[in-house]
Amino acid sequence: MSALAKLLSHPAIWRGDRLSSVSTPSLPTGFPALDAELPGGGWPAAALTEILPQHEGIGELRILGPALASLAARGRWLAWIAPPYLPYAPALQAAGIDLARLLVVRTRSPRETLWAAEQALRSNSCGAVLAWPEKIAWPELRRLQLAAAGTQALAFLFRPPRAAGEASPAALRLALDTCEGDLAVRILKRRGAVLGQPIRLHPAPVVNRNRTGFHHAVDFALFPALPARIIPAGISAL
Amino acid sequence: MSLATACVLAPVLNHRQRDPAAEAAALGQIAAWAVQFTPAVSLQPPRGLLLEVEGSLRLFGGIGRILDAVKRGVADMGFTVSVACAPTVSAAWLLARGGAERVFAGARAIRDAISPLPVRVLDCDAQALETLAAIGVRSLGDLLSLPRDGVARRFGQHVLDQLDRALGLLSEARMFFTAPPRFDAALELAAGVASAEVLLFPAKRLLTQLAGYLAARCAGVQRFRLALGHEDAPETTLEIGLATPSRDAGRLVILVRERLAATTLAAPVTQVRLQAGEILTLAGDTGSLFPDRMNDPGDWARLVERLSARLGQEAVHGLAPRAEHRPERAWQATAPGAGAGAGQAARSPRPLWLLERPRPLDEVDSKPHYHDGPLSLIAGPERIESGWWDEADVKRDYFIAQTPGHSMLWVYRERKQPGGWYLHGIFG
């Protein structure tokens, strides 16, 4: 290593083209390509993270799967506040998330959503707080960011793609889109230099193309003693 | 003086009818609260309460602390109190009636302590008091210096007995108060209260009583009911549940505050009533030298309580899978923290988001369409046909579909008439 490189690797020196090497507490995302571009090498704890998916169903939850599973496995609580649809228990379990640590909170108004999210953060008892606010303004974002800063929880806020143009106090902002079937993560904001290129990830695939074992669940009214049977595809069920 | 005369003399006089039943109920409520200091609580109607505290001195750290706690608690419940402490129960009672806040021990000091008290602290008729005043007997000391047989003849043996009991010359047997098995206390509000925030004050008084009642039984509550009575409308009932049993008045007050904030009152409230049926045993806290804040289940329980107090019990829940083929029934809501449990592991992919009601999809050229165009079916069909026995049978072919924007959806083709395509889940 040259003398200059040695000097520049001193922790007190920060270069504009690099991620800040300040050790922010964080949790690996489970995607090494993403970890490499995040300050601290993972989802930042004690800070607000915004996720802005272009469409629903492109992997906006699957990208959180590994982190949520590891938090739940360590006995930390996961609070889902005002989710847009029903978090589906069998799929969550299949993703390795311990459902005993899951809390779903339904709200009736945007105000209640923000209140519940703030309470969940301030209580300092959750490993991760996920919230889907319908609308949120700067002062409320600031409140949540402050509430998040006082805990060790991961705080995820899901917002529509049009929010990308608005300023936000969140420490990390990710825009998600698809690119040739992959999930393309564009880092809108992070603590450190701007990253131009989107990161391409392959979150847990929905369909395993190598596997053909699809199943039918058919019950036969003729055999009431057997209310439901599993018959592999390929065998004519009826 | 009659009420009419009084009103003429003071036209702004604000007068109320005395309600002996309400006074007796209030005394019972204070007694139920006071049982936390000693099991030996005895009623002295209409407005006296006697506590034998010698056995509790060590536990509470001295008589001063007990008296402070009594005064603070009674004030929190909205009553004024005059306290006194003496070696005999009657002496304490006479001192308290005389308004002398005195504390002393030692039987010899009793005579000196009660001597300056006015004779009216004794329980005797008005005529006897007038006679005593006429002969110049103003204090108990004056009365004690009169010949005993004369006093007994002129004013009755019971006057003499009261003095003897106070001095410890005559033994005294008292009935101890037993707290009711259920907590049920009410407060009448003088004027109708229309603001939920103002209601917090009477509620706080009742919760203080409840906390004392529970402390006496080493118990806690996990749910309680606050009933708000209206002048001419059916009462509003608030059922409040806790994640773990508690008797911490502060914690209960926070929950009631959240709940009241979310309640709209139908009419002004004239009565607040607090009921707690299920009394659960609850051990006291053990003080830990190094409290483990991160894994403290208390924070979590308090969060769940606050959320469900404001948003409603059913709005805060956990999730668990169920062994069932029909996707909409393959899950269930559980109490927070009681999730997981056995469910069959899905053999086929399941979406992370499920729509509570399947959403019909447009069909163009017999292909399902989503917002941004035709769906391409990637995998399937997975046939689910089940539930004929409970009138909610399904006959569906499920597919995993992809939109032109690469969103992954879970759709199905209805096999019952009239058919059609539906969106049932999203692979988030």
Q: Which of these three, B135, B167, B199, is where a domain ends?
A: B167
> For residues B368 and B381, what is the distance between their CA atoms, to the nearest angstrom?
14
A238 domain-assigned? no
What pLDDT score was predicted for residue A116? 93
B87 domain-assigned? yes
Helix (H, G, I), strand (E, B) or coil at A77: strand
CB spacing of A116 vs B311 below 8 angstroms: yes
Task: Give the confidence band of B343 by pLDDT, cuts at 50, 70, 90.
Answer: low
CB spacing of B299 vs A124 below 8 angstroms: yes
Which is it for the CA torsion A39, A45, A50, A51, positive or negative?
positive
Question: Which helix (H) or strand (E) element contains residue B128?
Answer: helix B126-134
Q: Global pTM?
A: 0.66
B346 domain-assigned? no
B292 domain-assigned? no
State pLDDT tens for residues B86-128: 888 888 888 888 887 777 767 778 888 888 888 888 888 888 8
State pLDDT tens for residues B178-213: 888 888 888 888 778 888 888 888 888 889 888 888
| Total domains present in chain B | 3
CA distance A44 to chain B (A): 18
State pLDDT tens for residues B289-337: 544 444 445 678 888 888 888 888 888 998 888 888 888 888 888 888 7
Same domain for B333 and B307: no
Quick one: CA torsion of A12, A13, A16, A21, rounded to 10 degrees?
-40
In percent, the amount of chain A with pLDDT more than 70 equals 77
Per-residue pLDDT averaged across A43-71, rounded? 90
Helix (H, G, I), strand (E, B) or coil at B261: helix
Residue the block writes with tokens 């301030």:
A122
Same domain for B247 and B208: yes
Give the number of other Cβ atoms within 10 Å of residue B331's Cβ.
25
Among A159-163, B324-328, B404-408, top mean pLDDT goes to: A159-163
| Total domains present in chain A | 1
B320 domain-assigned? no
Q: Which of these three, B167, B198, B226, is where a domain ends?
A: B167
Task: Give the confidence band of B344 by pLDDT, cuts at 50, 70, 90.
Answer: low
DSSP state of A30: S
Same domain for B269 and B374: no
From chain A, pick out residues whose CB is under 8 angstroms from the CB of B405. Answer: 54-55, 58, 178
A154 domain-assigned? yes
- For chain A, give percent helix, strand, coil, nearest 5: 25, 25, 50
- Number of alpha carbons in the 13 Å side-chain half-sphere of residue B185: 28
Beta strands in B167-308 (DSSP E): 183-193, 219-230, 236-246, 269-276, 279-281
Nearest to A217 among B332, B384, B427 (CB): B384
φ, ψ at B250 (rounded to 5°): -60, -40
CA distance A114 to chain B (A): 12
Cβ atoms B359, B423 nearer than 8 A: yes
From chain A, pick out residues whose CB is under 8 angstroms from the CB of B388. Answer: 219, 221
What pLDDT score was predicted for residue A133? 92
Helical packing angle, B63-76 and B196-216, nearest 10°: 140
Same domain for B190 and B141: no
Long-range contacts of B314-317 (CB under 8 A, 24+ apart): B315/A105, B315/A106, B315/A107, B315/A108, B316/A103, B316/A104, B316/A105, B316/A106, B317/A103, B317/A104
Cβ atoms B388, A221 nearer than 8 A: yes
Q: Which residue of B has its CA nearest to A105?
A: B316
> For residues A140 and A85, what is the distance between their CA atoms, to the nearest angstrom?
23
pLDDT for A226 beyond 60: no
CB spacing of A90 vs B346 below 8 angstroms: yes
pLDDT for A22 beyond 60: no
In percent, the amount of chain B with pLDDT more than 90 equals 3
Provide the b/e sequence for B410-427 (b: ≥16 CB within 10 Å): bbbbbeeeeeebbbbbbb
State pLDDT tens for residues B277-292: 788 877 665 544 544 4
From chain A, pick out residues whose CB is under 8 angstroms from the CB of B299. Answer: 123-125
- Domain with residue B238: its CATH number is 3.30.1490.100
**Side chain identity at residue A228, one-letter code:** A
In DSSP notation, B149-163 reads: HHHHHHH-HHHHHHH
Q: Which residue of B has its CA nearest to A101?
A: B337
Beta pairing, strands B41-44 & A229-232:
unpaired
pLDDT, greater one: B41 or A209: B41
B8 domain-assigned? no
A13 domain-assigned? no
Task: Give the confidence band of A160 by pLDDT, cuts at 50, 70, 90.
Answer: very high
A33 domain-assigned? yes
Task: Give the confidence band of B345 by pLDDT, cuts at 50, 70, 90.
Answer: low
Task: Give the confidence band of B73 by pLDDT, cuts at 50, 70, 90.
Answer: confident
Cβ atoms B353, A85 nearer than 8 A: yes
State pLDDT tens for residues B136-174: 888 888 888 888 888 888 888 888 888 888 888 888 888
The domain of B376 spans: 327-338+351-426
Nearest to B300 among A125, A206, A214 (CB): A125
CB spacing of A61 vs B356 below 8 angstroms: no
Same domain for B149 and B187: no
Nearest to A94 among B346, B353, B426 (CB): B346
Q: C-alpha angle with apex A70: A69 to A73, nearest 5 degrees?
A: 85
State pLDDT tens for residues B349-405: 889 999 989 998 888 877 888 887 888 888 878 888 888 888 788 888 899 888 888
State pLDDT tens for residues A174-212: 999 888 778 888 888 887 777 778 888 877 766 654 444
Same domain for B145 and B39: yes
Same domain for B143 and B83: yes
The residues with which B273 forms a beta bridge, in sequence order, are B186, B227
State pLDDT tens for residues B263-275: 888 888 888 999 9
B163 domain-assigned? yes
Same domain for B355 and B247: no
- Domain with residue A161: its CATH number is 3.40.50.300
CB spacing of A207 vs B382 below 8 angstroms: no
Task: Give the confidence band of B262 by pLDDT, cuts at 50, 70, 90.
Answer: confident
A169 domain-assigned? yes
The domain of A30 spans: 25-201
Same domain for B198 and B131: no
pLDDT for A237 beyond 60: no
CB spacing of B352 vs A93 below 8 angstroms: no
A212 domain-assigned? no
Same domain for B376 and B246: no
B193 domain-assigned? yes
Per-residue pLDDT averaged across A223-236, rounded? 39
From chain A, pick out residues whose CB is under 8 angstroms from the CB of B406. Answer: 55, 58, 178, 181
From chain B, pick out residues whose CB is under 8 angstroms from the CB of A212. Answer: none
What pLDDT score was predicted for residue A23? 61
Same domain for B196 and B74: no
ipTM above 0.90, yes or no: no
Cβ atoms A153, A121 nearer than 8 A: yes
Asked which of A85-94, A140-149, A160-169, A175-184 is least confident by mean pLDDT, the reply is A175-184
φ, ψ at B399 (rounded to 5°): -130, 155
**Side chain identity at residue A81, one-letter code:** I
B120 domain-assigned? yes
Q: How far apart are the first and last CA of chain A?
A: 72
Interface contact B343, partner A, CB < 8 A: yes
